[in-house]
Structure 1
Amino acid sequence: MTTLLVAHGTRNPHGVAMIGDLAAAMSEHLRDDVRVGFVDVLGPDPAEALDSIGESGPVTVVPAFLASGYHVRADLPAYLRQAQRTTLLAPALGPDSALADAMVDRLLDAGWMPGEPVVLAAAGSRDPRAQADVAAMGRLLAKRVGAPVRIGFVMPAADGSGYPPVAEVVAGLRAQTRPGTRIAVATYLLADGLFARRMHEVGADVVGDPLGLHPSVVALACDRAASATAAVELARPLAR
């Protein structure tokens, strides 16, 4: 069965390449064809990607998003309705404990030491459900690092909802800790791009890389695809 991995889209070629590499890694694990589509910035969009698949049968769609915000709940379903084929829509990647594991590894790779304060930096959303997903991810990360985790948005909502800017959270945390305490930022972004580059301008001492092709991310994406397919297989006997 073919799988379509749908990401946001970025003008950064490294970010685009990372999504392609994630699809290739999924294809190797699933032993299936995995295509790529984007909901914004560049193409093909999900409807175009689906219509380009020649084989018949349903296609599993995996949203490469870390929270179920507007793109997952509105944009993506609209594209799927345009396509001329049956699709099985999997849940978004986050929140999930596998992503907390990946963030901790990225922090350790960047030089973070256990016990140092951590700020989770997410892209940002006005959607209350996406904000709740980020809050859940913060709790999962806090369990991994053994201490409370503050949350900041790279792009805070204009209406003031959600979380404050990452730089503001880092500055507030620095004012509350002993002089010389290092502040770390866990980058809760999937791929390299403008938002990821901004993390190096927020005043933190340690900045983890985006989650990228961490083995936990690849395994999670494959699990999402497999679970969507399995749900349909389980439902078929009930429908007979």
Structure 2
Amino acid sequence: MNRHPALILAVHGTRRPHGTAIAHSLALRVAEITRQPTHLAFADVLTPTVGDVAAATPGPLVVVPAFLASGYHVRTDLPEQLAHAGRADAVLTPALGHHPALTDAAVRRLTQAGYRPGDAVVLACAGTSDPRAKAELHTAARALATRLGTPVTCSYIATGTPTVADQVQRLRAQGHQRVAIASWLLAPGLFHDRLARCGADVVAAPLCPDPGIAHAVAERYRRAAIPQPV
């Protein structure tokens, strides 16, 4: 008998079939690692919603938000969905962004795309108006800079300044011959498509389906589901 809490993997949702397929693949990989049934649910755009799945899932419940910062969905939307579903008892883990496996994945993606030591690096984030989430994105940029041994600028695709395109242009004006964009996005979609038009020499692929992402989700789940030694 399975005594561990059920696992809901909460993703944003996209109208791009490829992005949805990647989300399903991530859920399958997490289930393989944790050996627990993993229920995929969407915070926005698609169904079933996190609230739908939580209401239909009996017993203890852990929700892992596959988000790169703790913005609106993590801080407000998901707790509200769980409360409306009568599952305020569910454990909502931290977002994935601080997990070192994501920095590792960003380095691998950047290298695979053709990054060379000496390239100027821009971390491309979707963007947020939440100051706390923005601080988390800057923390991610500093972690990537430490790994690469070079400055990394946090820039935005949809919300916030500097935009990725403006930052690439600024680095060119400063004399950088090559500029590389590290993608701080989980899956392909409209936001990642925009990066191809930003004028960089290298554009890394989104973080998924790098295997490190599934391991980060699994670790978030285990820390919430299994009592940790004091």
Band the TM-score falls in, shorter-chain normalisation: over 0.9
AA in 2 matched with 1:59? L
1:38 and 2:42 aligned: yes
CA distance in 2, matches of 1:155, 1:89: 26
RMSD: 1.5
| SS of 1:123 mapped into structure 2 | strand
Report the equivalent of 1:128.
Answer: 131
Report the equivalent of 1:81.
Answer: 83
Match of 1:6 among 3, 7, 10: 10
**Residue 4 of structure 1 contacts residue 60 of structure 1 at CA under 8 Å; is this kept in 2?**
yes
CA distance in 2, matches of 1:217, 1:144: 17
Number of positions where the alignment pairs a residue of Structure 1 with one of Structure 2: 225
Match of 2:190 among 173, 189, 194: 194
1:95 and 2:98 aligned: yes
Divergent runs of 4+, >2 A: none
Query: Once the 2 structures are TM-superposed, how far is the Cα of residue 234 of structure 1 from its aligned partner?
Result: 5.2
Match of 2:171 among 161, 170, 173: 173
Query: Once the 2 structures are TM-superposed, how far is the Cα of residue 151 of structure 1 from its aligned partner?
Result: 1.4
| SS of 1:60 mapped into structure 2 | strand
CA distance in 2, matches of 1:138, 1:27: 30
Query: Once the 2 structures are TM-superposed, how far is the Cα of residue 94 of structure 1 from its aligned partner?
Result: 0.7
Map of 1:1-240 to 2, 5 A cutoff?
1-53=5-57, 56-85=58-87, 86-157=89-160, 163-178=161-176, 181-230=177-226, 233=227
**Residue 115 of structure 1 contacts residue 145 of structure 1 at CA under 8 Å; is this kept in 2?**
no
CA distance in 1, matches of 2:12, 2:23: 10
**Residue 4 of structure 1 contacts residue 36 of structure 1 at CA under 8 Å; is this kept in 2?**
yes
AA in 2 matched with 1:168? D
Query: Once the 2 structures are TM-superposed, how far is the Cα of residue 121 of structure 1 from its aligned partner?
Result: 0.2
CA distance in 2, matches of 1:218, 1:115: 31
The TM-score normalised by the length of structure 2 is 0.94
| SS of 2:122 mapped into structure 1 | strand
| SS of 1:72 mapped into structure 2 | helix
| SS of 1:171 mapped into structure 2 | helix
Report the equivalent of 1:160.
Answer: none
AA in 1 matched with 2:76? A
The TM-score normalised by the length of structure 1 is 0.90
Query: Once the 2 structures are TM-superposed, how far is the Cα of residue 41 of structure 1 from its aligned partner?
Result: 1.0
Query: Once the 2 structures are TM-superposed, how far is the Cα of residue 24 of structure 1 from its aligned partner?
Result: 0.4
Render the CA deviation track for 1:29-85: whole Å, top value 9, x for unaligned: 0001001111111111111011233xx311110000000001100000000101234
